[in-house]
Structure 1
Amino acid sequence: MAIRGALRELSVQLSLLNRQVGARLELKDVDLDCLDLINAHGPLTPSALARRTGLHPATMTGILDRLERGGWISRDRDPSDRRAVRISTRRDRNAELLGLFAGMNTSLEHICAGYEDADLELVADFLGRAAEAGRIAAESLTAE
C-alpha cells in the first residue's frame, strides 16, 4: 500500500530532521520528543509526561534534569497542590527551536498552497487518525 510506504518514509525523514535539530541544540532525540510534548500538552507533571512517553519515572527524571540544565524547561510548584511539580517550557527558547525547523515549515507551507482547503482537511484528518493509532499502539506495548 502506497500510503504505508509514504508514512514510513515521512517518519524516517522527520526522525532524521529531529536528530539534526537535537544535535544542533545538544539534545538527545528523547529530550526533543519530551520538549515537544511539553510544548503541546503542558504544563505537565513529571508522571504525566512519563505516562505519555512510556518511559520509566527514573529515566524521565534524567531527561528533565538535562532539559532544565539546558534552560529549556522550568519546574514549578503547582499552585493548587504545593507538593506537586508542573513542568513547562521556557517560551524564550522557542525562537531558537523554531528557527531550526524553519526550512521544513516553509516547505510545508509551499506544499499546502498547492491543495484545496477541503483536501487539506482530509489529509489532516487522516494524519490525526494515524497519529492516534500510533499513540494507541505505543501504549499497548508499554502496558506489556
Structure 2
Amino acid sequence: MSSKINAALGREIRDSLREMRIQLSTLNHRVGSRLGLKDADLDCLDLINRAGPISPGALARRAGLHPATVTGILDRLERGGWVARERDPADRRAVVVRPVQERAADVLHLYAGMNRGIARICADYDEAELRVVADFLRRTAEAGRQATEEL
C-alpha cells in the first residue's frame, strides 16, 4: 500500500476516532444525567465496575484525578448507593471500593441501544476481521494511556 493511501486512511481513522469520542462522550453525559451522576462520577463508576474492588488511590491513578477529587466522587457514589467502601481483606487498615451489583442494571439498560448497535455492526464482520478490530482498539487505548502518562 502506498504511503499516500496510508496517510489518507490514517487521517480518516483519526477523524473517525475523534467523532467516536465525541459521540461516546455525549452518550455518557446523557446516561450520567439520567442517573444523576456527573461525568467524572460515571467514569469512576465504570472503572470500579471493571477493576473493583479497588483502592481509592489506585482509582485516582487510573482515572488521572487528584486523590481529594476521588474522595468527593466516592462520597457521592456511596450516598447514591452505587459503591460501598470496605476494609481491604489483605490489609485491614486499608479501604477498597466495590460496586453495588444491584445497581448495575440501572446503568446497563441505558447503554442497551449502543450495545445493540455494536452487535449489529459486529455481525457484518467475520471472526478474523473482528480480531483485527479488537486488536486495533486495544492498541489505540494503550496509545492513549501512554500519551496521557507523557503529559
Query: Please, what TM-score do these two structures have when normalized by structure 1?
Result: 0.96
Root-mean-square deviation (Å): 0.7
Is it true that 1:31 corresponds to 2:44 in the alignment?
A: no
Whose Rg is larger? 2
Distance 2:126 2:76 in 1: 43
1:7-51 deviation per Cα after TM superposition (whole angstroms, max 9, x unaligned): 000000000000000000000000000011111111100000011
Structure 1 gaps of 5+ residues are none
Aligned length in residues: 141
- 2:102 maps to a residue whose letter is D
Query: Please, what TM-score do these two structures have when normalized by structure 2?
Result: 0.92
Is it true that 1:21 corresponds to 2:31 in the alignment?
A: yes
Would you identify which runs of 4 or more consecutive aligned residues in structure 1 move more than 3 Å?
A: none
The 10-residue stretch of structure 1 (132-141 or 18-27) with the greater mean CA deviation from structure 2 = 132-141
Structure 2 gaps of 5+ residues are 1-10
Between the aligned residues of both structures, percent identity stands at 63
Which residue of 2 is the match for residue 94 of structure 1?
A: 104
C-alpha contact (below 8 Å) 1:54/1:139 kept by paired residues? no
Distance 1:80 1:40 in 2: 20
